[in-house]
Homo-oligomer: A and B are copies of this chain.
Amino acid sequence: MKFTLTGTGSVKGCPVYGCDCPACIKAIMDPFLRRSPASALLESDGELILIDAGLTDIQERFPAGTLKQVLLTHYHMDHIAGLFSLRWGSAFKISVMGPDTSDAPVELMKHPGILDFSQTTTQFSPFSINGVKVTPVPLSHSRPTFGYVFERNGRTLAYLTDTLGLPDETLTFLTSNPLNVMIIDCSYAPDMSEPPGSHNNLKDVMELHQKIEPSRTILTHIGHELDNWMNANPLPKDIEAGHDGLVITL
Contacts and interface: CB of A to CB of B under 8 A. Distances in A.
Contact of A56 (B20, B81, B91, B107): B81
B89 A78 contact: no
A89 B16 contact: yes
Interface string A77-108: 11001001110111110000000000001010
Contacts of A77: 84, 107
A107 B77 CA distance: 8
Interface string A203-226: 000000000000000000000000
Nearest to A107: B77
Interface in A6-53: 11-13, 16-20, 37
A85 to B, nearest CB: 7
A76 interface: yes
Contacts of A90: 16-19
Contacts of A57: 56
A114 B19 CA distance: 12
B18 A89 contact: yes
Interface residues of A, number: 29
B56 A56 contact: yes
B76 A17 contact: no
Nearest to A75: B107
Nearest to A89: B17
B56 A17 contact: no
A59 interface: yes
Interface of A: 11-13, 16-20, 37, 56-57, 59, 64-65, 76-78, 81, 84-86, 88-92, 105, 107, 114
Given A18-B114, A56-B57, A81-B84, 7 more contacts: A11-B88, A13-B88, A16-B89, A17-B86, A17-B90, A18-B64, A19-B90
